[in-house]
Amino acid sequence: MKPRLRLPALMLAALLGATLAGCGEKAAEQAAATKTVRAELGVVELTRQPAYDATPASVVAETQVTMASRLTGFIRAIDVAEGETVAIGQRLFSIDPVELQGQAAQARAALRQAEDARTDARLEYERFAALLKEDVVTRQQYEKMKLQLDIAESRVAQANAALSSAGNQLRYATVTSPIAGVVTRKLAQAGDLATPGQPVLVLENPHKLQVETHVPEHILATLKPGAPVPVEVDGQSAAIEARVARISPAADPVSRTFLVKLDIAAPGLRSGQFARALFPLGEREVLTVPQSALVNRAGIEGVFVVGADFIAQFRMVRGGQRRDGRVEVQAGLREGERVVVGGDIARLESGDKIDA
């Protein structure tokens, strides 16, 4: 019986030896994978920063003009494209003038007829005036001829007005730019039927921009014209200082908020960009780290936290406002923890040892 029991014991010893050998090899591989990286360390600090009430906003042009036709007619041509810069008086589009030209021709013909009738009425009036002096006609007949002349004069004036109106209509067939700016939208095509008030083009002056936002009443009470308001704009690395330009005196009946316009100027701003207006609310205490501590690993923003053993571990964080080279940490860190802020941070990985 004893020889039968020795074989499993030998197999168990061999298996245990292989397991220990495998663990040793894995530990050796992990030790080999861990590297030492020189890096600079910073500390998570509790700091006081200005508090803001952020409201969504948009960058808009202070001067925006919607161009439409004063006439009803087919658009013959649109002479500008979206994004094109235009000057004052430059032709934008034109309406087919065939119908207007016909109206003008009719008005000219009516004027000629009225002038001919006036000539006849004047000759008759002058003849009756001479006959009245010779007592050949009565005063009543003379006054009748005078009335006919007055009517003819009135019809000439009406025909002149109609011809002038037709000429003005022809001038309206060509639409020119009232401002120097940029074509931001093209809302019709050549061949479309234009009607009065129907937008064809939108122009903006890109050199004078504003930020529009809607604020609740508790913010409105703290605002005055000219007051500075920081504004964050997508694509800008830091907040831009704007100033209150106009405050609406009435609230929106649906949202119960007030429209506020802020004057803003900075290179690279464009009408239509999304922004956030930051209205001051005092100060607050927040956890912050140097902005250089933030890194991106596989699309995740975080920092490398360094423990007492100087081993770095990547930790995902939720960042907030950036100010004076530091960034607010809304979640993921505790006050006093050490983080990597510089050095060879690009090649740093979790588990690496830090040589500070």
Which tokens belong to 69?
């036709």
Is 18 inside any structural domain? Answer: no
What pLDDT does residue 93 have?
Answer: 94
Residues whose CB is less than 8 angstroms from the CB of residue 356 and which lie 6 or more positions away in sequence, other chains included: 38, 39, 40, 41, 306, 310
CA distances (Å), 6 to each of 167, 180, 212, 222, 269, in order? 121, 101, 88, 90, 84
Q: State how many domains the chain has.
A: 4
Boundary-marking domain end, from 235, 267, 283? 283
Taking each helix axis as running N to C, give the angle between helix 98-133 and helix 139-172, from 0 to 180 degrees, rounded to the nearest 10. Answer: 160
Longest dimension (CA), the chain: 172
The DSSP code for 311 is B
**Do 296 and 349 sit in the same domain of this protein?**
yes
Q: What is the pLDDT of residue 98?
A: 64
Which domain CATH number covers 162? 1.10.287.470
Report which of 94, 69, 97, 92 is spatially closest to residue 81, judged by C-alpha positions.
92
- Residues in the chain, pLDDT under 70: 1-33, 98, 100-102, 166-168
Same domain, 78 and 185: yes
pLDDT of residue 28: 44
CATH code, domain carrying 231: 2.40.30.170
Burial class, 100, CB count within 10 angstroms (exposed 0-12 / middle 13-18 / buried 19+): buried
Pairing assessment for the beta strands 181-186 and 36-43 based on DSSP bridges: unpaired
* Domain harbouring 73, CATH code: 2.40.50.100
C-alpha 300/C-alpha 156 separation (Å) is: 82
- The DSSP line for 226-248 is T-EEEEEETT-SS-EEEEEEEE-
Instruction: List, as own/partner pairs, every contact residues 183-187 make where C-beta atoms lie below 8 angstroms and the sequence separation is at least 24, other chains included.
Output: 183/80, 183/81, 183/82, 183/83, 183/84, 183/86, 183/92, 184/61, 184/64, 184/82, 184/83, 184/271, 185/82, 186/78, 186/80, 186/81, 186/82
**Inside any domain, residue 16:** no
Query: Do residues 77 and 192 share a domain?
Result: yes
- Same domain assignment for residues 196 and 160: no
221 and 270 together in one domain:
yes
Instruction: Tell me which of 283, 309, 343 is where a domain ends.
Output: 283
* 3-state SS assignment for residue 332: coil
- Residue 261 domain flag: yes
- Predicted local confidence at residue 101, as pLDDT: 65
pLDDT at position 261 is 95
Domain boundary among 253, 283, 313: 283
**CA quadruple 71, 74, 80, 82: dihedral sign:** positive
Residue 118 is given by DSSP the state H
So what's the pLDDT on residue 321?
76
For residue 9, being part of any structural domain is answered with no
Q: Which tokens is 28 given?
A: 């050796």
Domain extent at residue 102: 97-172
The pLDDT, as a whole number, for residue 167 is 67
Specify whether 335 is located in the same domain as 230.
Answer: no
Q: Are residues 244 and 137 in the same domain?
A: no
- Let me know whether 127 and 187 are in one domain: no
Say if residue 73 is in the same domain as residue 200.
yes
pTM over 0.75: no
pLDDT of residue 16: 45
What local confidence, expressed as pLDDT, does residue 247 receive? Answer: 93
